[in-house]
A and B are shown apart, each in its own frame.
Chain A
Amino acid sequence: MTQAERLVPNPSVTDFAGFGLGLRPAHFHDVLHNSHPVDWFEVISENFFVAGGKPRYYLSQIRERYPVALHGVSLSIGTRDPLDLAYLGQLKALIDEVKPVIVSDHMCWTSGGGHNSHDLLPLPYTEEVVVHLIERINQVQDFLGRQIVLENVSAYVAFQQSELQEWEFLNAVANGSGCGLLLDVNNIYVNERNLGINASNFLNNIEGRHIQQIHVAGHSDYGSYVIDTHDAPIRPEVFELFRAAFERFGPINTMIERDDHIPEFAVLVDELNQLRSYAAPSLDAGDAGDAGQNREQLGGS
C-alpha cells in the first residue's frame, strides 16, 4: 500500500461546505453575534499558537458553530533545513483541539539556515525538488496523522533551473505524496502577470481530483507587475478566473482571503455573495445541493 493510499482524506471535505472567509480578530464579534451567510472560516494556524485568552476562546466558540480550516504560513515544506518538530507539535496540538476540516499550508519555502523570511518563497520546479517535497510531505502527514493540503503561491521571480511547468510540478507532488491542493486563483493570475504563465493552461492541466479548496483574493496592480497583497477587493479578472475554475472543478470549498486594510465584516460578506454569483451557474447546473446546508453535518466533530 502506498503512502497516498494509507492516508485518510480530510473528514467531510469531499462534501461541499460552501463559501467561507478568513477569520480575522476584528470580526470575531460579528461572526458570533450577527446572522450572516458565511458557511465556514479559515484561520491562520500560527496566530493560534498561543496558550489561551481571547484568540483561543473565540476560535473555540466559532468552531462550535462553523467548520474551520487551519491555514499555516510557516511549515516551510520546501526548505533544505530539517523539519521543525516543535512547530509540527504545536500544529498537531491545535489540530487535536480544533478538529479542522482542512489543514493547509503552501508549496514553497519560508525558512533557511535557521532563519525565517515570513514570506512564501517560490521553489524551482524540478524533478529533484518534487522528490524532496514528496519525502517531506510524507513525514509531515505521518506526524500529523492526516492529509495536508498545499497551495500554489504567487511569485515575483522564476528560476532557470525549473524544468516543469508550475501545474506539472503541483500534480507530481500531489500524485506522489497524496497531499491535496489548494488552488489560489489570484496567485495564478499574479503569476500570469508577473511571470507570463498561461492561466487557462494552468487550469486545463492541474488535476482537479487533488483540489480541496479554492482561495480568492485581491492584489495590487503596479502596471508592469502585480503584488499579492490581500488588501483590496477582488479584481474582475480574478472573479472570471474563479468562474472558470469553479466551472471546471465543480463545487469546492471556496473562501476570500483578506489580510490587510480589513473592512467591516459586512463588506466581506457582500464580496462573498458576489463570489457566489460567479459560482451559481455551475452550482445550478450540477448536483451540488445547496451550499451552506451541509453545515450541521460538517460542523460536528
Chain B
Amino acid sequence: MPARIESSLVGLEHLQHHMMAFLLDTAQGTSSSHEAELQRLLTADSPPEGLQIYSHAYGTRLVEVLRNDHEKLYSWLGSELFESFARSYVASHPSTVRSLRHYGAGFPSFLAELEHPKAERAAQLCLFERTLMDAYDSASAPRLAADRLTALAPERWPVLKLRCHPSVRVFTDTATAVSLWQEMNGAPGSPPSSEVQHWLLWRDHSRVCQFRHLQAAEYVAFTAMGTSHLTLADTAERLLETLSAEQIAAQLQQFLGQWFVDGLVSDIN
C-alpha cells in the first residue's frame, strides 16, 4: 500500500478493520490472519505483548460480564463449565451493544441450543437471572394503593382494566430452574416438580426484586388482566376453564387485592 494512503483516513479505516477483526478472531481462540498486518502498522518499540493485551482483554471482559450477571448460573455450573460455555458464547457473539448490561441478552437461547445434559436447566436459570435484571432496572412508575379498588363504583367493576408496574414479569419455568436458584440462595426451593411452573416477578416499593409462584388460577387471571389487559369480566370468563363459576368472583377479588398489596398495579381504567 502506498505510504500516502497509509497516513490518510483510509489508513485509519484499514487499521480499525484489522484491529476489530483481530479481536473477534482471537476471541474464538484461534490465531488471526489480521495479526501480521497489524504488526506491520506498529512501531518497532511497541511492547511485544501489545496486541495480546488487547485480545486478552476483549475475551476476558465479556466473560466477566456474563459471570457477574449470572452468579447463580456460575455457581451451579462451576467455574470450568461456565467458563467454557461463556467462551463459546463470546466467540460466536461479537458485541454489538454499547452498554455491557445487554451483552448477555442472547446467552439463554445460546445455552438452550448446546448439546449438553445441563443445557436446558442452564438456559432457564440464565433466563431467570436476566428476567430479574430486567425487573431490577426497568422504568419507575407509581403504584396504586388498594383503596383505589375499594372506592371503585360497582358499575365499573366488570370493565375494570389494569396497567401493571413496568417491572412486572411472568416467568415460565420448564426446568425447575427457580427452585435451583432458591436453593443456591440459601432458601429451601419449592418441591421438585415435573410440571411447568409460572412465577411472578416484580420490583417492590423498596426497589428490591421479588418473585412468587403462581398457581394455575392466578396465572390465568394474571396473564389475562396483567399481560393481555383484558377486563375483569373477560378475565372471569377465562377462569371458567380453571375454576367453578361460584369460586370465580371471590378468587378474583383475592387475586386483585394481593396484586395491589404487592405493588404491581400502576393504573386502572
Q: Which residues of A contact B (CB under 8 A)?
A: 46-47, 49-57, 74, 78-80, 84, 87, 109, 111-119, 121, 123-124, 126, 128-129, 132, 156-163, 194-196, 224-225, 227
Is B11 in contact with A158, judged by CB distance below 8 angstroms?
no
Q: Do the beta carbons of B43 and A132 come within 8 Å of each other?
A: no
Contact partner, B137, options A50, A116, A118, A224, Cβ 8 Å:
A50
Q: Which of A49, A78, A112 has most B Cβ within 10 Å?
A: A112
Alpha-carbon gap, A227 to B50, bound state (A)? 10
- With beta carbons under 8 angstroms apart, the residue of A79, A117, A224, A227 that contacts B23 is A117
* Other-chain contact of B41, A57, A132, A159, A195 (Cβ < 8 Å): A159
Cβ contact within 8 Å between B139 and A52: yes
Residue B24 interfacial (CB < 8 Å): yes
B46 within 8 A of A: yes
A159-B15 in contact (CB<8A)? yes
Is the CB–CB distance between A51 and B166 below 8 Å? yes
Q: How far is the CA of A114 from the CA of B137 in the complex (A)?
A: 26
Is B140 within 8 A of A52, CB to CB?
Answer: yes
Q: A87-B98, A118-B95 are in contact. Are A158 and B139 (CB under 8 A)?
A: no
B268 in contact (CB, < 8 A): no
A160 surroundings in chain B (CB, below 8 A): 41-43
A47-B166 Cα distance, complex, nearest whole Å: 19
Contact status of A54 and B136, CB under 8 A, knowing A112-B20, A116-B98, A121-B19: yes
Per-position 1/0 for B151-170, Cβ under 8 A of A: 00000000000000011000
Residue of chain A at shortest CB distance from B53: A156
A-B contact pairs, 18 of them (CB 8 A): A46-B99, A51-B140, A78-B12, A80-B12, A109-B16, A112-B20, A115-B95, A118-B58, A119-B57, A126-B7, A128-B8, A156-B47, A157-B42, A157-B43, A158-B46, A161-B6, A161-B11, A161-B15
Q: Is the CB of B94 closer than 8 A to any CB of chain A?
A: yes
Please tell me if B51 contacts chain A, counting CB pairs below 8 Å.
yes
- 14 additional A-B residue pairs with CB within 8 Å, beyond A118-B100, A119-B58: A55-B137, A78-B12, A80-B12, A112-B17, A115-B96, A118-B95, A124-B12, A128-B12, A157-B42, A158-B46, A159-B43, A160-B41, A160-B42, A194-B47
B203→A79 contact, CB < 8 A: no
Which of A49, A117, A124 has a CB less than 8 Å from the CB of B101? A49
Contact assessment for A52 and B138 in the assembled complex, using a CB-CB cutoff below 8 Å: yes
The answer to whether B58 and A46 touch across the interface, beta carbons within 8 angstroms, is: no
Q: Which residues of A contact B42 (CB under 8 A)?
A: 157-160
- Find chain B residues with CB under 8 A from A196 CB: 45
- B46 contacts across to A, CB distance below 8 A: 156-158, 194-195
Contacts of A158 in B (CB 8 A): 42-43, 45-46
Q: Chain B, 163-203, contact with A by CB distance < 8 Å: what is the 0/1 string?
A: 00011000000000000000000000000000000000001
Contact B9 A80 (CB under 8 A): yes
6 A-B pairs closest in CB distance: A52-B140, A51-B139, A50-B137, A157-B50, A53-B137, A156-B50
Select from chain A the residue with minimum beta-carbon distance to B97.
Answer: A116
Quick one: CB contact mask for B125-145 with A, threshold 8 Å, 1 for yes?
A: 000000000001111110000
B39 (CB) vs chain A CBs: closest residue: A157
Task: Tell me if B118 is interfacial: C-beta within 8 Å of chain A.
Answer: no
CA distance A225 to B167 in the complex (A): 46
Q: Which of B52-69 contact A (CB under 8 A)?
A: 53-54, 57-58, 61-62
Given known A-B contacts A109-B16, A157-B46, A158-B46, A117 and B138 have beta carbons under 8 A apart: no
Residues of B within 8 A of A157 (CB): 42-43, 46-47, 50-51, 54
Contact A53 B207 (CB under 8 A): yes
Output the least CB separation between B263 and chain A (Å): 14
A129 partner residues in chain B, CB cutoff 8 A = 9, 12
* Among candidates B7, B54, B61, B100, residue contacting A121 with C-beta atoms closer than 8 Å: B54
- Contact residues in B for A74 (Cβ distance below 8 Å): 98-99
Contacts of B97 in A (CB 8 A): 116
* Closest residue of B by beta carbon distance from A91: B98
C-alpha gap A119/B53 in the complex (Å): 11
Using A52-B137, A158-B46 as known contacts, say yes or no to A116 and B96 having CB atoms under 8 A apart: yes
Distance between Cα atoms of A284 and B16 in the complex (Å): 47
Q: For A81, give the chain B residue with the smallest CB separation.
A: B16
Instruction: Considering the complex, give the chain A residue whose CB is closest to the CB of B101.
Output: A50
Q: A79 to B58: give the CA distance in the assembly, Å.
A: 17
CB proximity of A232 to chain B, nearest CB, Å? 16
Any A CB within 8 A of the CB of B13? yes
Q: Would you give the 0/1 interface string for B101-129, flagging 1 where the beta carbon is closer than 8 Å to chain A? A: 10000000000000000000000000000
CB distance from B161 to the nearest CB of A (A): 23
User: Complex Cα distance A79/B53, Å?
Assistant: 20
Q: Is the CB of B41 within 8 A of A161?
A: yes
**Binary CB contact string for chain B from 15 to 29 against chain A (1 if under 8 A, 0 otherwise):** 111011101100000
Asked whether, in the complex, the Cβ of A113 is within 8 Å of the Cβ of B20, the reply is yes
Chain A neighbourhood of B17, CB < 8 A: 112-113
- Residue among B19, B62, B99 facing the most chain A CB atoms (10 A cut-off): B99
Contact of A80 among B13, B21, B54 (CB under 8 A): B13
Determine whether B246 belongs to the interface, using a CB cutoff of 8 Å to chain A: no
